[in-house]
């Protein structure tokens, strides 16, 4: 039997419970927002096609907060226009785009028509070195720098302010060749060799591995992931802004089967099981070889990946409507 007091208190208790529920939901939402890993992608997008596929995966990764995208190597201004358009088509013009250090590298830049078309190019961009250092200072210990091109900007940042660079949470990098080089991933292993991203700025690679920042390395050993015709057809017929951008960039790239080296960096951050790492001491020689050394490890290296698991993950994310 309920008393009159119980009856009068019941609405107040309901209101209090509702407030607690709303507060709990707000806290949970805030936690989910804060739990997202803050990343900056440093890319030489516009030559090979895998950079665009990496950016596409990042845009479809709820685990990530893309703090910015910086361009590097060669025509960094035109690369920034390409990123502007890709982000604009995807409705993500809120993501800052920074222009890296221009170099005299002679690259094909087959995706130039996409970069110079469209209506999303911004009138100005921050300088990449300044932008990245500012973001590290703003959120020390929270920023993951994802490097999917030669390490020109990285070397310049270390030269400018090595102490701030050390306040990165980590660097996740596609680069190097430990036990195998370029070749058919289904064929006999090829000997290790200088890998493009390391070879095109050996001095900066040496600085990175000596920086004291945690480095997670995705070398050729685990990133020669071939997107076959079946996977391409499935992805390209989805008709979303992101997959449509990939269709255009793929055709301007002008080759047949893309190797998705760079997307493994993003996939690893989303789900580390896709590319298990092991501690290793990495030394870079003057020829651009990434060699196993002795002594205290300075990197976590992924030597093996499951291509089937990777593509199930990748296509499931990027093809989603």
* Span 275-297, pLDDT tens digits: 999 999 999 999 999 999 999 99
Torsion sign (Cα): 33, 38, 44, 48: negative
Band of pLDDT at residue 12, cut at 50, 70 and 90:
low
Q: What is the pTM of this model?
A: 0.89
Are 214 and 77 part of one and the same domain? yes
Split into its structural domains, the chain has a count of 2
Do residues 217 and 82 make contact, with C-beta atoms less than 8 angstroms apart?
Answer: no
Which residues span the domain enclosing 295?
36-318
- The mean pLDDT of 206-218, rounded to a whole number, is 98
Residue 87 shares a structural domain with residue 20: no
- The mean of the pLDDT values for the chain is 92
Residues 93 and 61 in one domain: yes
What pLDDT does 105 receive? Answer: 86
Supply the pLDDT for residue 169: 98
Q: What is the mean pLDDT of residues 207-232?
A: 98
188-to-180, 226, 228, 276 alpha-carbon distances in Å? 10, 16, 19, 22
Which residues neighbour 241 within 8 Å (Cβ) at sequence distance 6 or greater?
89, 90, 91
Same domain, 220 and 74: yes
Please check whether residues 74 and 222 belong to one and the same domain: yes
CA distance 257 to 225: 10
Report the alpha-carbon distance of residue 220 to residue 129 in Å, rounded. Answer: 27
Same domain, 129 and 262: yes
């Amino acid at each position: 039997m309920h008393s009159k007091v119980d009856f009068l208190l019941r609405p107040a208790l309901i209101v209090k419970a509702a407030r607690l529920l709303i507060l709990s939901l707000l806290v949970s939402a805030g936690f989910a927002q804060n739990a997202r890993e803050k990343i900056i992608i440093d890319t030489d997008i516009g030559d090979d096609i895998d950079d665009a596929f990496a950016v596409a995966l990042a845009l479809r990764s709820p685990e990530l907060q893309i703090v910015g995208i910086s361009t590097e190597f060669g025509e960094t201004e035109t690369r920034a226009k390409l990123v502007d358009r890709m982000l604009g088509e995807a409705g993500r013009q809120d993501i800052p785009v920074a222009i890296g250090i221009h170099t005299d590298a002679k690259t094909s830049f087959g995706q130039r028509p996409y970069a110079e078309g469209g209506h999303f190019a911004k009138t100005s961009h921050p300088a990449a070195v300044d932008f990245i250092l500012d973001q590290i200072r703003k959120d020390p210990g929270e920023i993951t720098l994802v490097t999917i091109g030669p390490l020109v900007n990285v070397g310049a940042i270390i030269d400018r302010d090595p102490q701030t660079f050390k306040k990165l949470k980590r660097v996740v990098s596609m680069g190097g060749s430990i036990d195998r080089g370029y070749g058919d991933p289904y064929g006999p292993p090829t000997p290790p060799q200088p890998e493009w991203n390391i070879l095109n700025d050996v001095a900066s690679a040496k600085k990175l591995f000596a920086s004291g920042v945690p480095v997670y390395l995705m070398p050729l050993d685990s990133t020669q992931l071939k997107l076959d015709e079946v996977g391409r057809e499935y992805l390209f017929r989805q008709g979303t802004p992101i997959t449509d951008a990939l269709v255009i960039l793929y055709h301007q790239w002008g080759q047949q089967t893309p190797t998705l080296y760079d997307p493994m960096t993003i996939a690893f951050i989303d789900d580390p099981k896709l590319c298990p790492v092991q501690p290793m001491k990495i030394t870079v020689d003057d020829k651009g070889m990434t060699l196993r050394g002795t002594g205290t490890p300075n990197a976590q290296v992924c030597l093996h990946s499951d291509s089937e698991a990777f593509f199930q993950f990748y296509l499931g994310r990027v093809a989603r409507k």
